[in-house]
Amino acid sequence: MSQLIPPHGGKGLTLCLLEGAEREAELKKAEGLKKIEISSREEGDLIMMGIGGFSPLTGFMTKADWKGVCENFLLADGTFWPVPVTLSASKEDAAEVSEGQEIALVSKDGGKIMATMQVTEKYEMTEADKQWECEKIFMGEGTKTAEEFWKIAKDDHPGVQMVMAQKDVNLAGPVKVLSEGGFPEKYPGIYQRPAESRKIFEERGWKEIAALQLRNPMHRSHEYLCKIAVEVCDGVYIHSLVGNLKPGDIPAEVRVRCIQTLVDNYFVPDNVVQGGYPLDMRYAGPREALLHATFRQNYGCSRMIIGRDHAGVGDFYGMFEAQTIFDKIPKPSEPGKALLCTPLKIDWTFYCHKCDGMASLRTCPHGKEDRVLLSGTMLRKMLSEGLELPDHFGRDEVVAILREYYEGLTEKVEIKTHAAATGEVKK
């Protein structure tokens, strides 16, 4: 009997990935099907359904699911789910597909067959529908009104841009996944299926595991968050995104090296596991924090470390809104349908010269001038401009890896700072 937290949804890990002879037969059939090109975000979602990361989802959402998730954080059957997982098609492609028909889903880059799908429903997504979704999913406390939100969101919020760029019709239905998109080959030993992480945790005898979400290089603040979690849990799962980010963010292979350097030099290795997952960032702040906790439950984690501005972008969200949202979500009473992975809420962390060590707003009585406020955005900006980093901003070994990466860039991307990056505390 496993000691680990059960997968979300009460159905165990729901796996849509075919392998062996079954996969070969489905691939052969897919060659003769109507082909629909999918976006990078949709491809990541598809892979997560394949490997059980999005349990209990087994396909792209119906209109009832989409509406329930946006409005009430609930699928049509009453299961908690925080963000839409939808597939869009052009009006022309959708017109050639009838309900009940099987189609093949192909990657945007190269047209590789990723999956087959039985279309159970088609529903139009008007401009107004997309805007409504954006307001429900992406509008946080950082923007008080819809009017204020739209003044900046279309230009400055990559998640909003992603939704508004979707095609005009959503296709819903169950999928059979035929590819993991090259992630196992590109990130061997790092990219993991939930069954693999669960096996590692079981072998180590862990029960309480905290997940650390990473999309930036692991700096001193992340290290401190991990070490707090190690003190109160059996182990920490440093789980970084290896899918797509926005321009200016640091590639996964560089971040993986940084994490491994820290694990090798500054952690007891028996208490930490590094892994990677194949999603694109949505930059949905509080809603994405809930998504991170939901699929970490599937990976075997009982706690989700939530610090300052989790999964945020710009100034769209309150600094600790991703923590308080966990107190506001519905808690379905039916077994398995509620989110069981709970937040490990930690205040803004930094190095304090007067404390002579890492601290947080809860433990450090000193002023801003005594603190080295650690922000991934500011780190990227300073490195991209060749500036000297303040002492204690990052470990020397990690900074060396990042400098090597930036020195090798032929094209620079402008990196915008915001309140979170410049030390302005918004609670």
Query: How many beta carbons lie within 10 A of that of residue 359, not counting itself?
Result: 21
**Cβ atoms of 351 and 380 closer than 8 Å:** no
The SS3 assignment for 274 reads strand
| CA–CA separation, 258 and 397 (whole Å) | 8
What is the C-alpha radius of gyration for the chain, rounded to an integer number of angstroms? 21
161 close to 116: Cβ distance less than 8 angstroms: no
Q: Which of 41, 193, 198, 215 is catalytic?
A: 215
CA-to-CA distance for 88 and 167, rounded, in angstroms? 5
Alpha carbon separation from 203 to 26, 196, 320 (Å, rounded): 34, 11, 35
Confirm if 137 and 83 have CB atoms less than 8 A apart.
yes
265 has catalytic annotation: no
216 as an active site residue: the answer is yes
| 9: three-class secondary structure by DSSP | coil
Which residue in 85, 106, 82, 103 sits closest to 94, CA to CA? 103
Residue 244 dihedral angles phi and psi, to the nearest 5°: -85, 145
Catalytic residue among 41, 193, 216, 298: 216
How far out from the chain centre does Cα 228 lie?
Answer: 22
Q: Which residue has the tokens 């007891």?
A: 268
Just list the catalytic residues.
215-216
